Copies of this chain bind each other. A is one copy, B any other.
């Protein structure tokens, strides 16, 4: 229970960014430092710099604070929520349970059907992870048609949800009227629900985006509750053909501008990104956001690396998400097997979460984040020891791993067997390899041979070539390089910041 937030009520700015800039290490920062195995001062400095956010509404009392940013481990978000066509409050609560059970770091309630307030307050009450929303959905539900939307109505919804305890909100403030010509050139127009709604309103009234023009008022509300802004990418590409186009990057430029405005207000902010991107454009997209949006944490949706596999978009997008995380995305929004086809059910949520935990963890490993590979090494050790129960316990989805193993060899005796049904006992490579290692040890003991000291006849040819290959490979492969670079960058930033503070 975050009882410590009560003293903050009524203050004009209670954001983590605000405290961090004052040099205060909050309870939330301490908890983040503990979970990430980082120094509390590093957490504070990253939050102050805007490169890390801790979405933690002061009214979300049962939150276990977590952080999103390049210095922290890569995070994943699970979208849940109903539509007018299907689902209800109980189902959404079940989805929350499944999503967090399998490791979702945050959850977004994207409900657009009925009972929005009830679903949202139930989810906040039961969630220890940050809850995000897209307030335009409720704002539009409260009027007859989207064109009836007013800024007063919109701000009312934002404040209402902020009071409820929503930790972060997607706001599509970068979809500007002057970008509409770019949309007409696209194969798939606007595929962001919020972006399309904003554009409808703008085109109808021939007025600029109301969130953009009233951004100061938005920030003034959010900082009272410490709601983190998630700058929505209303113009994200909806297919490979539209990736990295004018519309996308034009909006990104505005998101960079709004990022600075949030920081002026002392409001925490992250930036949302695509969507659908071919593999060879992902790294460029990550670097572009870092550059244009001043290193605000990047929160990407996938991206999908091909459009042709509906029913398997958790996989088409986990590929892109892993690459995105590797190149610097701080949070990956999951995509489920139901994407493009319907609302996800509980099993879809589970599949989506696991696919994204895989992507995020693969990214942590590729970035050489401290200790990331320890989990993998523990699994490898359990495999080598034929400790099946430990393998299940260490698995991302223990039930599924056990179920698959037991499908062919269910008896308890096989939990210590030195084989599985894939190879059977005679062909198990682990077992056979262990015999080889034992034979080698015996040979060394008997002959006194050490290292590569084998009979002359065997050692003869080509060894110099082999070592040349290894040396060349080692030269190309610089583990830890990225991590070292990130550390250097942090160092430079911190010095600059300290200098500024004088």
A220 in the interface (beta carbon within 8 A): no
B-contacting 9-mer, from A23-31, A57-65, A223-231, A309-317: A309-317
A39 in the interface (beta carbon within 8 A): no
B-contacting 9-mer, from A161-169, A452-460, A486-494: A452-460
Tell me whether A178 and B319 are in contact in the complex, defined as CB-CB below 8 angstroms, given that A200-B435, A365-B240 are known contacts.
Answer: no
Copies in the complex: 2
**In the complex the two chains form, what is the Cα distance from A455 to B208 in whole Å?**
11
B-contacting 9-mer, from A5-13, A41-49, A392-400: A392-400
Tell me whether A433 and B199 are in contact in the complex, defined as CB-CB below 8 angstroms, given that A85-B424, A249-B473, A427-B137 are known contacts.
Answer: yes
Smallest CB separation, A99 vs chain B (Å): 16
Tell me whether A440 and B203 are in contact in the complex, defined as CB-CB below 8 angstroms, given that A363-B279, A426-B112 are known contacts.
Answer: yes
A246 in the interface (beta carbon within 8 A): yes
B432 touches A366 (CB 8 A): no
A407 touches B249 (CB 8 A): no
5 A-B residue pairings within 8 Å (CB atoms):
A83-B421, A200-B435, A280-B326, A281-B477, A312-B400
B322 touches A193 (CB 8 A): no
A280 touches B342 (CB 8 A): no
Smallest CB separation, A407 vs chain B (Å): 6
Chain B: which residue is nearest A257 at the CB level? B462
**In the complex the two chains form, what is the Cα distance from A191 to B428 in whole Å?**
8
**A149-188, CB < 8 A from B:** 176-178, 180-181, 183-184, 187-188
**In the complex the two chains form, what is the Cα distance from A312 to B207 in whole Å?**
49
Known: A181-B440, A203-B436, A315-B358. 7 other contacts (CB 8 A): A189-B384, A206-B455, A249-B473, A288-B472, A305-B322, A309-B357, A342-B405
**A287-304, CB < 8 A from B:** 287-288, 291-292
0/1 interface trace, chain A 362-379, chain B, CB 8 Å (1 if under): 110111100001011101
Please tell me the number of chain A residues within 8 Å of chain B, measured between CB atoms.
Answer: 154
**A232-256, CB < 8 A from B:** 238-241, 244, 246, 249-250, 252-254, 256
A497 in the interface (beta carbon within 8 A): no
A252 surroundings in chain B (CB, below 8 A):
469
B308 touches A396 (CB 8 A): yes
A354 in the interface (beta carbon within 8 A): yes
B-contacting 9-mer, from A14-22, A123-131, A262-270, A333-341: A333-341
**In the complex the two chains form, what is the Cα distance from A241 to B433 in whole Å?**
17
Among A280, A366, A396, residue most surrounded by chain B Cβ atoms (within 10 Å):
A280
A83 touches B427 (CB 8 A): yes
A412 in the interface (beta carbon within 8 A): no
**A452-486, CB < 8 A from B:** 452, 454-455, 458-459, 462-463, 465-466, 468-470, 472-473, 476-477, 479, 482
A359 surroundings in chain B (CB, below 8 A):
319
B316 touches A362 (CB 8 A): yes
A280 touches B341 (CB 8 A): no
0/1 interface trace, chain A 408-427, chain B, CB 8 Å (1 if under): 11000000000111111111
CB-contact partner of A309 in B204, B373, B396, B405, under 8 A = B396
B420 touches A204 (CB 8 A): no
A383 in the interface (beta carbon within 8 A): yes
Smallest CB separation, A288 vs chain B (Å): 5
A408 touches B190 (CB 8 A): no
**In the complex the two chains form, what is the Cα distance from A455 to B206 in whole Å?**
9
A37 in the interface (beta carbon within 8 A): no
**In the complex the two chains form, what is the Cα distance from A85 to B421 in whole Å?**
5
A312 surroundings in chain B (CB, below 8 A):
354-355, 358, 396-397, 400
**In the complex the two chains form, what is the Cα distance from A422 to B345 in whole Å?**
11
A391 in the interface (beta carbon within 8 A): yes
Chain B: which residue is nearest A141 at the CB level? B426
CB-contact partner of A476 in B86, B200, B287, B425, under 8 A = B287
Smallest CB separation, A238 vs chain B (Å): 7
**A343-361, CB < 8 A from B:** 343, 345, 354-355, 357-359, 361
Tell me whether A380 and B309 are in contact in the complex, defined as CB-CB below 8 angstroms, given that A178-B459, A250-B470, A315-B355 are known contacts.
Answer: no
A117 surroundings in chain B (CB, below 8 A):
none
Smallest CB separation, A78 vs chain B (Å): 15
A319 touches B358 (CB 8 A): yes
CB-contact partner of A181 in B190, B197, B379, B452, under 8 A = B452
B240 touches A184 (CB 8 A): no
Tell me whether A253 and B365 are in contact in the complex, defined as CB-CB below 8 angstroms, given that A83-B424, A184-B437, A409-B85 are known contacts.
Answer: no
A307 in the interface (beta carbon within 8 A): yes
Tell me whether A458 and B420 are in contact in the complex, defined as CB-CB below 8 angstroms, given that A307-B376, A341-B405 are known contacts.
Answer: no
Chain B: which residue is nearest A362 at the CB level? B305
A362 surroundings in chain B (CB, below 8 A):
278-279, 305-306, 316, 319
